[in-house]
Amino acid sequence: VLRDDLHRLLAHADDSSNGARVDAGAGALAATLMDAPEQSFAAGDAIGAYVLERPLGEGGLGVVWLARRQGNAALPPVAIKMPATTGGTRTAAERLSREGAILAALNHPNIARLIEVGVHGTGADAAPFLALEYVDGQRLPNYCDSRQMPPEARLKLFVRVLDAVVYAHSALVLHRDLKPGNILVTTNGEVKLLDFGIAKLMDNTGSAGSTQLTRLAGR
């Protein structure tokens, strides 16, 4: 059915009179294929030693929740990153496992640190999760704009971002997703680089080898 739908759309690709209608059909088809599965988690659920409080965000293959360690509310909250559903997907699980391995090797004040790697569920529903440092902050441009910072002050903050990137490169890690949403600044002015979910490992020649996982993530 999908093949037939695509051939039907392609057959009308050069028909300007039907262009808008074809685009709408393609968009609807894409939206159907890309619909995120219904989430399997809710506030109050236990994930490893943590209790979920509220969702912080989600991407194509995973979701991030604010959480606290069970039985010790005095400890700082953490960000729990995991597949969006209990079943998850193989690609999401592989990416999380890979991100955990990369973060475990990184220790820099401007990179959100890894606290724990765990597994939630058993059997077919088992999926890895990452407990990460929770960064309560604003995206870098928003932080600068809200304080009407002059160019010199903005550049000083950006140098800290570059320090984190250079450090990651020295550890043979390419982030590959540097954007405002992955660079937060706390109220104390601390810069934190987030989300190494599609990072790539380089060999000692500086070459980043391609894998099926990173090719999918790159697309």
Active site residue 163: no
Which residue type, as a one-letter code, is found at position 177? D
Copy the structure tokens of residue 135: 């960064």
99 vs 198: CA distance, rounded Å: 8
Copy the structure tokens of residue 182: 């992955």
| Eight-state DSSP code of residue 111 | B
Cβ atoms 72, 53 nearer than 8 A:
no
CA dist list (Å): 133 to 20, 44, 67, 194, 209: 46, 20, 11, 10, 29
Which one of the listed residues 45, 136, 163, 177 is annotated catalytic?
Answer: 177
Which residue type, as a one-letter code, is found at position 166? V
Q: What are phi and psi of 206, to 5 degrees?
A: 90, 0
Catalytic residue list: 177
